Copies of this chain bind each other. A is one copy, B any other.
Amino acid sequence: MIGFEEIRKLSHKSVSRIVLLVLDGLGGLPHPETGRTELESARKPNLDRVARESICGLTDQVSPGITPGSAPGHLAIFGYDPVKYSVGRGIIAALGIDLKLGPGDIAARGNFCTVGGDGTITDRRAGRISTETNAELCQLLNENIVVSGAELRATPVKEHRFVLLLRGEGLSAELADSDPQQVGLAPKRIEALSTSARRTAAIANEFLSEARTLLQGRIPANMVLLRGFSQHPDIPSIPDIYKLNPAAIAIYPMYRGLARLLGMRLLPAGEDITQQLETLHRHYEEYDFFFIHHKSTDSRGEDGDFEAKVHAIEEVDDALPQLLNVNPDVLLITGDHSTPATLASHSWHPVPFMLRGKWCRPDPVTEFSERACISGGLGRFPAVDIMTLAMANALKLDKFGA
């Protein structure tokens, strides 16, 4: 198997540019009435035009049948075996809001939530409270909670989300979540997953207990949930592996965080795909790899709103000419996983993929869809091969062996 060690030796700088557009949760399933998936239902002349000029395929991010989280889904696209390289949810959340993390620091993703009189969760997102309310509540927690053995700090993200940072000597991230991931259950006590994590578990549980007291009565945000305790992983960077000078144009904190972790520069992304593509134009000469992340395809899929997901795809198609007119040497359009609106969640279904470039050996595919990509020249392939294919098509890889 080719690994980073070989890629590092084979890759070299060149003038060509790679643009990767990720439509989060792109893949879908047929609508029960029409038999057509979200992609097949969308009016998307520009995506179809790119498909005709591309080599197409379907990717498995982790392995057939495995539903990827957002981090593994993206790690695979960037060439990182998502089983080998795991990045905790807490770390990604922390990086996304620019928290500086020391080597021993532990981050957890937090939610303000609503619990009923019996202590069970009635809303895991506390009715998506405003970011302002969130900031006030974080301040309340920070000013009132003191736990011996660690410095704790909650930092607000968007709406109901926050990051809890734990700093101190000898802490361990081997902790289970307090978030049971469903309503009707009570928040769990945090369990140590190893004996060396027992003290940290006690610290986290003390935080939860004090938070419950402080938030009492502040409905809808009367409790917190914690998950994804993690430390900064030891992970090679994209500039190191691929000799690229990469930039990310992502709006959502988590994807910005992941991009930063992998060594990308974060560019101002604005508020929608049109503004993201303006950024691409403005900075096109400065980088040789661009990661553009579009979130709403996934969000509308998660909402279970088929029509809205179709619309989110059409929104990208409408903006696409603005991307095509920079004429990237290599253009990749794909997703990080499927989020079929009929399932209203991430899924294991392989993800449509297309790569356009001067040397791409186009195939007979004339449409960008799950069904059409089955007949693509790339076939069904592991997403971890995407970056190598991109590098090859950009003529940035030397020959392997004599």
Stretch of A18-26, A191-199, A279-287, A378-386 that contacts chain B: A378-386
For A64, list chain B residues within 8 Å (CB): 378, 381, 385, 388-389
For A81, list chain B residues within 8 Å (CB): 1
CA distance in complex: A166, B340 (Å):
56
CB-based contact A82/B400 at 8 Å: yes
Closest chain B CB from A176 CB (angstroms) = 12
For A391, list chain B residues within 8 Å (CB): 65
CA distance in complex: A374, B86 (Å):
34
CA distance in complex: A109, B402 (Å):
11
Interface 1/0 per residue, A161-177 and B, CB below 8 Å: 00000000000000000
* Known contacts A86-B401, A391-B65; A370 and B380 CB within 8 A of each other: no
For A86, list chain B residues within 8 Å (CB): 401
Q: Which of A87, A362, A374 has the most CB of B within 10 A?
A: A374
CA distance in complex: A209, B2 (Å):
37
* A347 interface neighbour in B359, B378, B379, Cβ under 8 Å: B359
CA distance in complex: A380, B375 (Å):
11
Nearest neighbor of A55 in chain B, beta-carbon distance: B349
Nearest neighbor of A90 in chain B, beta-carbon distance: B402
CB-based contact B402/A66 at 8 Å: no
Other than the given A58-B379, A68-B399, A340-B359, 19 more pairs (CB < 8 A) read: A30-B361, A64-B378, A65-B389, A65-B390, A66-B400, A68-B400, A69-B399, A69-B400, A72-B401, A342-B359, A345-B399, A347-B392, A348-B389, A348-B392, A349-B361, A350-B377, A363-B374, A370-B377, A374-B376
